[in-house]
Amino acid sequence: MKKLLLSLSLCVLTSQAFASVKIEEELFVLGQKPEVLKELITAGSVEIDHVTSEGFEIYGRNGLSQYLDEKKIPYFDMKSVSKLAFAEYPSHAQITAKLQAAAAKNPSMMKLFSIGKSIKGKELWVMKISDNVNIDEVEPEFKYISSMHGDEITGREMTVSLIEEMAEKYGSNDELTELINNTEIYIMPSMNPDGSERKQRANANGTDLNRNFPDLKEANSAAGRELENQNVMKFQAERKFSLSANFHGGTIVANYPWDSTYDRHPLDGLVKELSLVYADLNPEMRNSSEFAGGITNGADWYVVKGGMQDWSCFFYNDLQITLEVSHTKYPSYSDIPDFYKSNRDSMVSFMKQVHRGAGFKMKRAGVSGTVRVKQLSPESKDLGSYAFNSSEFYKVLPDGEYAYVVTEKNKSPQEIRVSVESNKISSNGNFSVIE
């Protein structure tokens, strides 16, 4: 009977435009390939995640475990082994207090604000970090977001540790100081505080937030999506992020776009290089036995529809990768300092890559239009057109020389030449000024 109810309820789900699977059971299938559940996956009845040689995670409605029992497919209930691991972790209120303390330590370069609330009313905190934090400067904009899966908690703790270190060492650590002085950095430690409080993957509505963003073939509309997604979408639309990453747990790898199609990203070589920047400084990631060099193309690993990574890249010119940073989603809290130590240099180095780009700022306010990006060297290539607004544009690109053909509405195009060089932070953010 449960199996029948599962099938019927899932038929309803698949009839919706961008329906996410309702998550009521969280299981790990042992020693099997996803093909054994191809029928359920194809029908949109379940979600899978973290496919490895040992097995894979599977999420769905009540009745899923009975279905696996009847098929004699071995599995274990992930929720049954997770409860004790969470006991030592800070609550949302304690995380809030840590962020408030960091902002108070250096208010000239840290500003804590909320982009909205979760389903259960928890603030979705973001820390802005920049030398003139109360001014919207013409600088490259970078973003980290963690824990949209509430039970993948390691990234939340690491991003809080990064914020605390930046607050403590600004002015004394040359690398961090230079980065902060020339970048607008935004860090969101927890996109799904309700899920973390409940020790579950989904939000309070039972929805996987990383399947609830617009897919490449959908309209970029927030209507009808989960509240947390709506708030992140509004936040993204108001900024000009050009590089970002989101943190997960369950394995250790840097995952690059696309997730939802086997087509290659137009800047496939660059997103691989950016992923390697992170992986190379994390010994366990770099030396992975599952993933060559510690990186993987998303769809080659497993296909994800409605993920943040593809949505960010496709709709907003914001190159994004997905970082899986711990085999155990909720390791012992006493191990968090070691996780931060293993990832700290990678996190800082990846942020610096936002300066591997070029942009322009118009003297006239409120201008919008399009930019055609043409690579001139080391090879000649048309990289396509991108929209810009608020008189500003910036794009992360491979090293080389470029022509930006800027077209305002009802005006003749004008061309500017820009140069991109990695491992270089420019005092003016590598922005050209257009009259």
Which active-site residues does the annotation give?
324
In 13-164, the DSSP E strands lie at 25-30, 47-52, 55-60, 75-77, 110-117, 123-129, 141-146
Distance CA 70, CA 66 (A): 6
Report the DSSP beta bridge partners of residue 57: 28, 49
Distance CA 306, CA 233 (A): 13
Report the DSSP beta bridge partners of residue 295: 254
- In contact, 148 and 192? CB cutoff 8 Å: yes
For residue 146, give both structure tokens: 């963690």
Residue 40's H or E segment, with its range, is helix 38-42
List Cα–Cα distances, 370 to 54, 280, 367, 395, 409, in angstroms.
Answer: 47, 36, 10, 13, 9
Distance CA 186, CA 166 (A): 12
The number of beta carbons lying within 10 Å of the beta carbon of residue 269 is 11
Estimate the crossing angle of helix 154-169 against helix 92-105, to 10 degrees. Answer: 20
